[in-house]
């Protein structure tokens, strides 16, 4: 079946540090890929997405590139802020058949001032 | 656009009782999803509606669980004879989808269920 694997957290960084959160996937076919973010006490919010190989999703300074050859969708940000502290979820969805999202287990990011 | 809303936000119940949760999707969204999230894990898919039709159910959805979406608008998720293992956050998401497009799912704040 389809699955998503994320690096374990928590990831603790100082403000303005570079962020990478690794995400790899297993899927039969070519999924769309997503990053969702969950701030403390809030619901899941879509951060960015990419629907085909080599697409780059970007939003709020975060970027991720859909790499078919390595089945990866790593999340990056050049300079994190304290306000980026949250749990980040990588997810995939097939465009035919099953419509549900398959999520990774999440990576908690803590940014210290 | 007021977003996806869920009620109640928190529910505490005793083992063996029945509970019902409600989800109001973003207006005009034809697809509605239920997920369950336990502590430290990502959401897991439970069931999916397109308009009023329930098109898919996960194996996680035991016979004690039932979901409806009358008239293709709001949805309810009922759990009968609750067990302590049902304690989790229940998330609802909605989207507007048509064939050949990648729809984006928008999530509600969730209903946190605690079974004592």
pLDDT digits (tens, 9 = 90+) for A70-93: 999 999 999 999 999 999 999 999
Sign of CA dihedral B95, B100, A96, B40: negative
Q: Which residues in chain B (59-88) have CB-CB distances under 8 A to chain A?
A: none
CB-based contact, B31 to chain A, within 8 Å: yes
Structure token pair of residue B95? 């989207």
Kindly report, residue by residue over B64-74, the tens digit of the pLDDT: 999 999 988 99
- The whole-angstrom separation of Cα A64 and Cα A94 is 18
Q: Taking all residues of chain A, what is their mean pLDDT, rounded to a whole number?
A: 93
- What are the phi and psi torsion angles at B86 (to 5°)? -80, -10
Chain B partners within 8 Å of A51 (Cβ): 102
Q: Is the pLDDT of residue B101 over 80?
A: no
Tell which of A31, A59, A94, A100 to mutate to test the B interface (max B CBs under 10 Å). Answer: A100
Q: Is the pLDDT of residue B5 over 90?
A: yes
CB B91 within 8 A of CB B82: no
Kindly report, residue by residue over A17-41, the tens digit of the pLDDT: 999 999 999 998 889 999 999 998 8
Residue in B101, B103, B107, B94 with CA at minimum distance from that of residue B42: B107
Please count the CA atoms within 13 angstroms of the CA of B12 that sit on its side-chain side.
1
Neighbours of A111 (CB within 10 A): 19
CB-based contact, A108 to chain B, within 8 Å: no
Shortest Cα–Cα distance, B38 to chain A (Å): 10
Shortest Cα–Cα distance, A78 to chain B (Å): 25
CB B47 within 8 A of CB B36: no
* Count of H-run helices and E-run strands, chain A: 0, 12
Secondary element (H or E) of residue B93: strand B88-95
Q: How many CB pairs under 8 A join A and B?
A: 56
Note the pLDDT of residue A30. 85
Q: Which residue of B has its CA nearest to A10?
A: B40
Q: Which residue of A has its CA nearest to B95?
A: A99
């Amino acid at each position: 079946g389809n699955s998503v694997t994320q690096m374990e957290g928590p990831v603790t960084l100082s403000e303005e540090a570079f962020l990478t959160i690794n995400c790899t996937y297993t899927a039969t076919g070519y999924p769309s890929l997503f990053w969702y973010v969950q701030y403390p006490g809030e619901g899941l919010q879509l951060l960015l997405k990419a629907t085909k190989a080599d697409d780059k999703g970007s939003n709020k300074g975060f970027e991720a590139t859909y790499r078919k050859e390595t089945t990866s969708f790593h999340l990056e940000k050049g300079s994190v802020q304290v306000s980026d502290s949250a749990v980040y979820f990588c997810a995939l969805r097939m465009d035919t058949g099953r419509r549900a999202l398959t999520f990774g287990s999440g990576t908690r990011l803590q940014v210290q001032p | 656009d007021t977003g996806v809303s869920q009620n109640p936000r928190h529910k505490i119940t005793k083992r063996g009782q029945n509970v019902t949760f409600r989800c109001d999707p973003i207006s005009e969204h034809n697809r509605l999803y239920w997920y369950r999230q336990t502590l430290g894990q990502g959401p897991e898919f439970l069931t999916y509606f397109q308009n009023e039709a329930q098109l898919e159910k996960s194996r996680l959805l035991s016979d004690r669980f039932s979901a409806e979406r009358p008239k293709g608008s709001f949805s309810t998720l009922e759990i009968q004879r609750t067990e302590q293992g049902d304690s989790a956050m229940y998330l609802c998401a909605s989207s507007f989808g048509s064939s050949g497009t990648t729809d984006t799912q928008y999530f509600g704040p969730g209903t946190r269920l605690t079974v004592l």
